[in-house]
């Protein structure tokens, strides 16, 4: 009675990733090598784009005509030999369910992520912390092979499953010959050449990862993680700070701010002009004394001051580098592309670019007339045709008028509001000011979304200032105000449900503080 003759492989996949094919390859390869094997999966709609698992059991003794093995349809938590994961979050799910065990399991995983809908719909960052997944994979495996199989697959024109099959073969955890896997791919008869290339790539990675670890017997983690390259930005990133005058101005700020300032200045020059940079630095100066606060303000202020009005959108959409990026990203380097832009400016965005004095009365009327969902003008513009390009490009010519535009008037007034609140808070409590500065993260989106998010910042500022006044009057620190600023922002960034909760929380905290019940306010915050 020993386990040694039975090996189990669990494949936690995302529906549509080809986990079923991966299972069939393994089963077919094992059969070809004369092993008794069985595999199970979950069919049908239950797996469409959702978490799904495939499971293989191998009996390593050749079929002797004796009683057949008692195969299990399900993996047993803690008694798993191989966890073969075509996606990295699913590793976490399997660990949560107790399947891999550090005493027994080899984890072979692709580190790329397919985000779940719940990670995607947060207004801010809802992505599950990848470091936690890496740490868990290390902690819950006897041996770990982790690398980006999808990236490797794409290089070879195939899918992650073929690469992982190669890695499984390379890991040597199953008593199946490498050629038996190759034969299984050939026998399946689908995309054979590409899948074989992917298989060999995965095989090479695993063999290579296995080599050194095998030599140094102590270490067991074979972590070949590669980090995802961020796409190159279209904007000119070269610092405009070659300018000696600007160089001098920058010297007025703490040195650790320099990288942020260089990026910010380049962006502001690209957006408007040198004078605009002066205005930026002027606004930033009051915070220069505190490098931590200054860096946060510098970042958010630069983003806010380069708000995406129609002129900015036109500028970004008509850059030559943009079309190059699209060709690269969409795999059209050798082909041609025709780009159609989906533009739908609403009334605000249209009169926003006109001079404030001219349109202010109209804007006031329009805001009353359409409190939500202003009329919008949808158009599909083919920006790779001359006429289509011209239509968008012409807008960029309005850039010199931007400083007197209605939108500029509105946006800068709000920025000033934020900066004033910041200055007040900085006078009270440094940490409070830092949280309020971070609040500017809420200002994003277009049209109704941006108006809604801006209103949240308004509310955050108003609530936090009132809270701080209450706390200030009673003495004894600004803990509740600070916490309110942080919680409010975090809740709003969780999405629409969080927005309602944030508003309710502000209400509750203020009521408590007004009643001089600081403990109650803190309790409400701790609950939220």
Partner 1 sequence: MGERSFAEDVKQLGYGAGEILRGEGILAITKALLQSGVSYVGGYPGAPVSYLIDVLADANEPLLKPLGIYFEQSGSEAAAAALLGASINYPARGAVTWKSVVGTNVASDALSHVASAGVIGGAVVVIGEDYGEGASILQERTHSTALKSSLPLLDPRNSLESFARFVEEGFGLSEACHQPVLFSIRIRACHMRGTLRCRDNARPKISMLTPLGEPSFSLERINLPPFTYQMEAQKFEKRLPAAQRYIVEHGLNEHHRGDEPDVGIVMQGGLWNTTLRGLHVLGLADTRGRTAIPLLVLNAIHPLVPDELVGFLRGKRRVLVVEEGMPNYIERELGALAHDARLDVEIHGKNVFSPHGEYVPQLVIGGLRRFLTAGGLTSRSATEIDARYAALTAHRTRVRSVLPQPVAKRPPSFCTGCPERPVFSALKILRQREPAVGDTHVAADIGCSTFSTQAPFNVGNSVLGYGMGLASSSAVAPLFGKRTVAVMGDGGFWHNGLTNGVANAMYNRQDSVLVILDNFYAAATGQHHVPSTGTNARNETVRMGIPDALRGLGVKWIRTVNSYRIAEVIRTLREALTTRVPGLKVIIARNECMLERQRREKPRVRQAIAAGAEVVQPRFGVDPDVCTGDHSCMRLNGCPSLTLRENPDPLREDPIAHVDETCVGCGVCGEVAHAAVLCPSFYEVNVIANPTRWTRFVARVRRAVIGRLAAVTA
Residues 253-272 that bind partner 1 (CB under 8 A): 260, 263-264, 267
Angle between helix axes 130-139 and 89-96 (nearest 10 degrees) is 50
- Number of residues this chain uses to bind partner 1 (CB under 8 A): 146
Tell which one of 81, 346, 471, 499 touches partner 1 (CB under 8 A): 346
Query: CA torsion sign, 328 to 330 to 335 to 341?
Result: negative
Q: How far is the CB of 3 from partner 1 (least distance, A)?
A: 7
CB of 75 to partner 1, least distance (A): 7
* Cα–Cα distance, 345 to 448 (Å, whole number): 11
Question: Which H helix or E strand runs over 380?
Answer: strand 379-382
CB of 427 to partner 1, least distance (A): 26
Q: Which of 446, 454, 462, 523 binds partner 1 (CB under 8 A)?
A: 446
Residue 311 Cβ, how far from partner 1 at the closest point, in Å? 11
Structure token pair of residue 256: 């650790």
Report whether 158 contacts 197 (CB < 8 A): yes
C-beta of residue 199 within 8 angstroms of C-beta of residue 169:
yes
Residues 179-208, interacting with partner 1 (CB under 8 A): none
Strands 82-85 and 143-147, by their bridges, are unpaired
Entry field: residues in the chain: 528
**Position among 193, 245, 449, 500 found at the interface with partner 1 (CB under 8 A):** 449
Q: Which of residues 229-248 bind partner 1 (CB under 8 A)?
A: 230-235
By the rule CB under 8 A, 397 interacts with partner 1 = yes
Contact 138, 83 (CB under 8 A): no
Residue numbers 456-495 binding partner 1 by CB under 8 A: 493, 495
Tokens 């902690």 label which residue?
Answer: 139
The interface with partner 1 within residues 21-80 (CB under 8 A) comprises 23-24, 27, 31, 37-52, 55, 59, 66-79
Q: How far apart are CA 255 and CA 257, in angstroms?
A: 5
User: Cβ distance 27 to 44 under 8 Å?
Assistant: no
User: Which of 373, 475, 519, 526 lies at the binding interface for partner 1 (CB under 8 A)?
Assistant: 373
The whole-angstrom separation of Cα 158 and Cα 374 is 46
Q: Which of 121, 245, 401, 515 binds partner 1 (CB under 8 A)?
A: 121
Site for partner 1 in 94-113 (CB under 8 A): 95-96, 98, 101-103
Please work out, in degrees rounded to the nearest 5, the angle formed at the alpha carbon of residue 338 by the alpha carbons of 336 and 340: 160
The pairing of strands 6-14 and 82-85 is parallel
Q: Given the complex with partner 1, which of 120 and 368 has the nearer CB atom?
A: 120
Instruction: Report residue 263 as tokens.
Output: 């990026």
Based on the shown chain and the rule CB under 8 A, indicate whether residue 279 belongs to the binding site for partner 1.
Answer: no
**Bridge pairing between strands 143-147 and 221-223:** parallel
Q: How far is the CB of 519 from partner 1 (least distance, A)?
A: 27
For residue 95 the two structure tokens come to 């660990």
Is 295 among the residues that bind partner 1 (CB under 8 A)?
no
Q: How far is the CB of 516 from partner 1 (least distance, A)?
A: 36
CB atoms within 10 A of CB 451: 17
Asked if residue 331 binds partner 1 (CB under 8 A), the reply is yes
Under the binding rule (CB under 8 A), the answer on residue 86 touching partner 1 is no
Give CA separation, 215 vs 136, 201, 211, 220, in Å: 24, 22, 6, 10
- Determine which residue in the list 106, 171, 405, 441 makes contact with partner 1, applying CB under 8 A: 441
Nearer to partner 1, 14 or 464 (CB): 14
Q: Which of 274, 283, 322, 466 binds partner 1 (CB under 8 A)?
A: 322
By C-beta, is 5 or 364 nearer to partner 1?
5
Phi, psi of 131 (to 5 degrees): -65, -40
Dist CA 103 CA 348 (whole Å): 62
For 489, the enclosing helix (H) or strand (E) is: helix 479-494
The CB-of-178 to partner 1 minimum distance in angstroms stands at 21
**138-167 residues near partner 1, rule: CB under 8 A:** 139-140, 154
Return the residues of window 296-315 that contact partner 1 according to CB under 8 A.
Answer: 299-300, 302-303, 308, 313, 315
CB of 171 or CB of 383, closer to partner 1? 383
Q: Which of 283, 319, 451, 454 binds partner 1 (CB under 8 A)?
A: 319
Segment lying near partner 1 (by CB under 8 A), choices 171-179, 372-380, 404-412, 425-433? 372-380
Whose Cβ is closer to partner 1: residue 190's or residue 255's?
A: 190
CB of 42 to partner 1, least distance (A): 3
Structural tokens at position 252: 């007025």
Spatial separation of the C-alpha atoms in residues 403 and 356, rounded to whole Å: 9
Among 110, 116, 463, 481, which residue sits at the site for partner 1 (rule: CB under 8 A)? 116
């Amino acid at each position: 009675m020993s386990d040694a003759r039975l090996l189990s492989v669990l494949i936690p996949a995302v529906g549509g990733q080809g986990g079923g094919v991966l299972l069939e390859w393994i089963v077919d390869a094992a059969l070809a090598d004369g092993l008794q094997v069985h595999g199970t999966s979950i069919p049908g709609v239950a797996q469409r784009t959702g978490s799904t698992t495939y499971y293989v059991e191998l009996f390593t003794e050749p079929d002797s005509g004796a009683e057949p093995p008692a195969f299990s349809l399900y993996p047993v938590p803690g008694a798993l030999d191989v966890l073969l994961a075509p996606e990295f979050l699913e590793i976490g799910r399997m660990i949560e369910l107790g399947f891999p065990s550090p005493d027994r399991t080899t984890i072979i995983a692709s580190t790329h992520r397919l985000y779940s809908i719940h990670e995607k719909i947060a207004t801010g960052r809802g992505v599950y912390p990848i470091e936690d997944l890496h740490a868990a994979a290390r902690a819950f495996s006897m041996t770990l092979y982790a690398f980006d199989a999808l990236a490797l697959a794409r290089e070879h024109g195939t899918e992650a499953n073929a690469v992982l099959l190669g890695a499984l073969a390379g890991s040597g955890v199953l008593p199946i010959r490498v050629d038996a896997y190759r034969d299984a791919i050939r026998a399946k008869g689908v995309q054979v050449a590409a899948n074989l290339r992917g298989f060999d790539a995965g095989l090479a990675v695993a063999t290579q990862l296995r080599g050194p670890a095998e030599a140094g017997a102590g270490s067991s983690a074979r972590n070949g993680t590669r980090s995802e390259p961020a796409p190159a930005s279209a904007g000119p990133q070269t610092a405009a700070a070659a300018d000696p005058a600007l160089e001098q101005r920058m010297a007025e700020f703490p040195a650790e701010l320099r990288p942020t300032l260089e990026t910010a200045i380049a962006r502001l020059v690209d957006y408007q002009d040198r004078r605009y940079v002066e205005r930026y630095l002027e606004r930033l100066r009051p915070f220069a004394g505190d490098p931590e606060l200054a860096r946060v303000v510098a970042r958010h202020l630069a983003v806010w001051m380069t708000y995406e009005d129609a002129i900015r959108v036109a500028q970004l959409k008509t850059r030559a580098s943009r079309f190059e990026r699209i060709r690269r990203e969409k795999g059209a380097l050798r082909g041609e592309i025709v780009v159609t832009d989906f533009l739908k400016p609403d009334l605000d965005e249209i009169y926003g670019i006109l001079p404030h004095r001219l349109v202010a009365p109209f804007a006031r009327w329009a805001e009353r007339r359409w409190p939500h969902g202003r009329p919008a003008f949808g158009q599909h513009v083919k920006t790779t045709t001359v006429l289509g390009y011209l239509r968008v490009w012409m807008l960029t010519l309005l850039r010199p008028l931007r400083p007197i535009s209605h939108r500029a008037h509105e946006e800068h007034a709000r920025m000033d509001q934020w900066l004033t609140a910041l200055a007040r808070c900085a006078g009270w409590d440094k940490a409070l000011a830092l949280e309020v500065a971070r609040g500017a993260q809420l200002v994003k989106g277009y049209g109704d979304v941006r108006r809604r998010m801006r209103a949240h910042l308004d509310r955050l500022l108003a609530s936090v200032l009132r809270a701080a006044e209450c706390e200030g009057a009673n003495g004894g620190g600004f803990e509740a105000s600070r916490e309110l600023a942080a919680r409010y922002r975090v809740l709003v960034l969780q999405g629409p449900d969080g927005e309602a909760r944030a508003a309710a929380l502000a209400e509750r905290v203020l009521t408590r503080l007004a009643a001089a019940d600081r403990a109650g306010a803190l309790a409400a915050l701790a609950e939220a």
